[in-house]
Amino acid sequence: MHNILSVIWWQRFVVKAFITQELSAISGIRKIHNVLPHGSGNLVLVTDLYDCTLQQVLAQSGGHGLPLAQVLEISLSLINTLGCMHQQDIVHKALSSQHVLINTINGDIALAGLAFASELDQELQSTQLPKQSEETLPYMSPEQTGRMNRDVDYRSDYYSLGILMFELLTGQRPFEAKDALDWVYTHICRLPPITQYVSTSTSRGYFKYCT
């Protein structure tokens, strides 16, 4: 039984690695050059230098959000990267501040966390909550909860991006929840606050800019 599970895990790993390599030509995707077996595990060969995650950058802001110009720069970069992924019929499904990598020397931005990525034609509506890390639950789309009568498609990534942009502007996520089931209810039933009413200079500036 253990050997069967190991084979299944390895097959899934290879599929995900193949998807990542397939996307390597896209600007804004962390490049994987090779996947090599090593002992009881595997080695992933990457050469890009990213010394910080967006999660760490947000933590350094002290909960006040990032400057508006930086928010727009990051958002436009992610929109472009996601758009290129979707043109290849691949959905990310795990966009979060932890999976956005930043090179603080030159400002380059890359999208990581492709372990949950999949081809759109393989996406069917599930009745179960998919396995997600705790860090990605706050960004999960309603379709990913398994409680909606809808398949997951590219719009799921833009829902996650919207939550991330809210966090960039305000320094806080639009929702908080106690556990995985609470996150399911939150994403399906609750409405986010308007950034105008979140007390940060960046969000107020953004609201004034939009109006």
Instruction: Please say whether the beta carbons of 17 and 41 come within 8 A.
Output: no
pTM score, two decimals?
A: 0.79
Q: In this predicted model, what pLDDT tens digit does every residue of 174-194 receive, in sequence order?
A: 999 999 899 999 999 998 887
Q: What is the pLDDT of residue 24?
A: 75
Q: Is the pLDDT of residue 151 over 90?
A: no
In a domain, 32, yes or no: no
In a domain, 133, yes or no: yes
Q: Is the pLDDT of residue 12 over 80?
A: no
pLDDT band at 128 (very low <50, low <70, confident <90, very high): low
Give me the mean pLDDT over the 73-91 stretch. Answer: 94
Q: What is the pLDDT of residue 101?
A: 94
Q: What is the pLDDT of residue 70?
A: 92
Q: What is the pLDDT of residue 118?
A: 82
Q: In this predicted model, what pLDDT tens digit does every residue of 54-75 receive, in sequence order?
A: 999 999 988 889 999 999 999 9
Q: What is the pLDDT of residue 8?
A: 46
In a domain, 122, yes or no: yes
Q: Is the pLDDT of residue 50 over 80?
A: yes
Q: In this predicted model, what pLDDT tens digit does every residue of 92-108 receive, in sequence order?
A: 999 999 999 999 888 89
Q: What is the pLDDT of residue 5?
A: 42
Structure tokens at 198: 């979140």
Q: Compare 187 and 211 and report the one with higher pLDDT.
A: 187
Domain that holds residue 152: 51-210
In a domain, 172, yes or no: yes
CATH (domain of 191): 1.10.510.10
In a domain, 96, yes or no: yes
In a domain, 1, yes or no: no
- Per residue, the 3-state secondary structure of the chain, as one string, reads CHHHHHHHHHHHHHHHHHHHHHCCCCCCECCCCEEEEECCEEEEECCCCCCEEHHHHHHHCCCCCCCHHHHHHHHHHHHHHHHHHHHCCEECCCCCHHHEEECCCCCCEEECCHHHCEEHHHCCCCCCCCCCCCCCHHHCCHHHHCCCCCCCCHHHHHHHHHHHHHHHHHCCCCCCCCCHHHHHHHHHHCCCCCHHHCCCHHHHHHHHHHC
Q: What is the pLDDT of residue 27?
A: 85
In a domain, 13, yes or no: no
Q: What is the domain count for the chain?
A: 1
Give me the mean pLDDT over the 32-51 stretch. Answer: 73
Give the least confident one: 4-13, 43-52, 130-139: 4-13
Q: Compare 188 and 123 and report the one with higher pLDDT.
A: 188
| Nearest to 50, CA basis, from 107, 97, 92, 96 | 107
Give the least confident one: 28-32, 90-94, 139-143: 28-32
| Nearest to 198, CA basis, from 6, 33, 7, 63 | 63
Write the burial class of residue 178 (CB in 10 Å: 0-12 exposed, 13-18 middle, 19+ buried).
exposed
In a domain, 11, yes or no: no
Burial profile 81-116: b = 16 or more Cβ within 10 angstroms, e = fewer: bbebbbeeebbbbbbbbbbbbbeeeeeebbbbbbeb
